[in-house]
Amino acid sequence: MKKSSLALLVGAVLVIGGGVWYLMPHGEAPAAGGKMNGGPQGPTTVSIIAPKRQDVPVVLQANGTVTPVSTVDLHPQTTATIAKVHIKEGQFVKSGELMFTLDDRSERANVDKAQAQVERDRAALADYERQYKRAQELLEQKFIAQNAVDTLKSQVDSARALLNADIAAARSASVDASYTAIRAPMTGRVGAINVYQGSLVQMSTLLTSVTQLDPITVAFTLPETALAGLMAAQREGAVPVQVKLDNATLAVNGKLSFIDNTVDPVAGVIRVKAQFDNKDTSLWPGQYVNTQLISHVIKDATVIPQNAIISNTRGTFVYAVDKDQSAKVVNIKRLHAFGESAAVTGLNGDEQVIVDGKQNLRPGGKVRIATADGSKQKG
């Protein structure tokens, strides 16, 4: 009885052991150190790119405002009544073109009066000169005394001075009369007209304004860090500037015309202006535009994709593949970013810069380089 019980017990143990062996995965080796799944992490798959060498133009962009080269507000220089308005609102006028005529009857009368005074004084001077000449002849013949000649000489000088004064007064009257004809001070476009024929105007009355539209300028600001490059470029020649309107695809080309003499210490910017030919009046005063200019060119710059650059509290750097197929940190400085690329310093140019997969890297971590067809090279 005891032997049969022992046999049954041994058979049960064998059956249970065989089932456990059957359920375990066959051929799985334990991990190093005796851990099934706790082994060291394998290489990280990354893609790399070689830095490029090229000249990089430093393009600066800013929002600007179209400003006229000059705008003149027209005021009368005398009190009078508008006799005639010769122009219309929005009209283009040429320099010297007649715009307003004021009632000039009083001024013309003053001019005639001054001219008459000049003629009278000129006749009086001529009479004194004849008397003086005759007196000199009589003095030579001992018929009159010297003091009589001196008296006539004094009268001649006084008459000549009076004539000169009246000539100046006549010239002044002519100037006053010229104020009754108001002409365009420059070539430009007429603004709103605030008076009409018959309006009484004074020196404080605004008649209209004339704005020069060709050429025209665009004012904008640039960061003070661009000042050195701008000054160097301007010394070498004209600095080209482009502007684009919000609703236009074509750019208008001009050149840098002004750099302010001070930097705004609060905003850290410098005011600049660019001048443009505007014969087709595509640029209008007060308009907002997008400006773009090349301040200078970085010669033979090292260029890498921007998505390879990492910036954090430790600085700006990239990961590169070291000789032992590990990731090493290379500190860089970003000089200028353009599109998807950036010009940097800190690279020799022969590095294998890691672009994709860097988010999973740590300094010294092993890497496996992905080939162009998506396969992996051995780490």
Percent of the chain with pLDDT strictly greater than 90: 55
Residue 248 pLDDT class (50, 70, 90 cuts): low
| Structural contact between residues 259 and 42, judged by C-beta atoms closer than 8 angstroms | no
Last residue of a domain, one of 209, 234, 256: 209
Asked whether residue 378 is assigned to any structural domain, the reply reads no
Model pLDDT, residue 165: 94
Model pLDDT, residue 135: 86
Model pLDDT, residue 228: 87
Q: In this structure, are strands 44-49 and 367-369 parallel, antiparallel, or unpaired?
A: parallel
Model pLDDT, residue 29: 35
Residues 256 and 314 in one domain: no
Residues 170 and 285 in one domain: no
Cα(287)–Cα(282) distance, rounded to whole angstroms? 10
> What are 24-49's pLDDT values in tens digits?
444 333 333 333 344 456 788 888 99
Residues 253 and 198 in one domain: no
Q: What is the mean pLDDT of residues 249-268?
A: 90
Q: Which residues partner with 366 through β-bridges? A: 326
Residues 85 and 204 in one domain: yes
Percent of the chain with pLDDT strictly greater than 70: 86
> What are 338-371's pLDDT values in tens digits?
889 999 999 988 889 999 888 878 888 888 888 7
> What are 284-319's pLDDT values in tens digits?
999 999 999 988 888 889 999 999 999 988 889 999
Q: Is 339 exposed, middle or buried (0-12, 13-18, 19+ CB in 10 A)?
A: exposed
Asked whether residue 365 is assigned to any structural domain, the reply reads yes
In this structure, what are the phi and psi dihedrals at residue 51, rounded to the nearest 5 degrees? -60, 150
Model pLDDT, residue 12: 52
Residues 103 and 163 in one domain: yes
Residues 223 and 203 in one domain: no
Sole residue written with tokens 């609060």:
266
Asked whether the predicted pLDDT for residue 20 surpasses 60, the reply is: no
| Residue 176: CATH number of its domain | 2.40.50.100
Q: What is the mean pLDDT of residues 45-72?
A: 91
CA 13 to chain centre: 92
Asked whether residue 11 is assigned to any structural domain, the reply reads no
Q: What is the mean pLDDT of residues 203-211?
A: 95
Q: What is the mean pLDDT of residues 231-240?
A: 87
Residues 266 and 317 in one domain: no
Q: What is the mean pLDDT of residues 203-212?
A: 95
Residues 153 and 90 in one domain: yes
Model pLDDT, residue 37: 46
* Residue, of 167 and 140, whose pLDDT is higher: 167
The tally of domains found in the chain comes to 3
CB atoms within 10 A of CB 293: 25
> What are 150-189's pLDDT values in tens digits?
888 899 999 999 999 999 999 999 999 999 999 999 999 9
pTM tops 0.95: no
Model pLDDT, residue 21: 42
Asked whether the predicted pLDDT for residue 18 surpasses 70, the reply is: no
**Residues 6+ away with beta carbon under 8 Å from 167:** 118
Q: 26: left (phi > 0), else alpha (psi -120 to 50), else beta?
A: beta
Last residue of a domain, one of 295, 314, 342: 295
- One-letter identity of residue 45: T
| Residue 335: CATH number of its domain | 2.40.420.20
| Residue 285: CATH number of its domain | 2.40.30.170
- Domain hosting 52: range is 44-56+300-369
Residues 267 and 318 in one domain: no
Asked whether the predicted pLDDT for residue 3 surpasses 50, the reply is: no
Residues 203 and 217 in one domain: no
Residues 257 and 333 in one domain: no
Residue 372 pLDDT class (50, 70, 90 cuts): low
Model pLDDT, residue 238: 87
Residues 279 and 353 in one domain: no
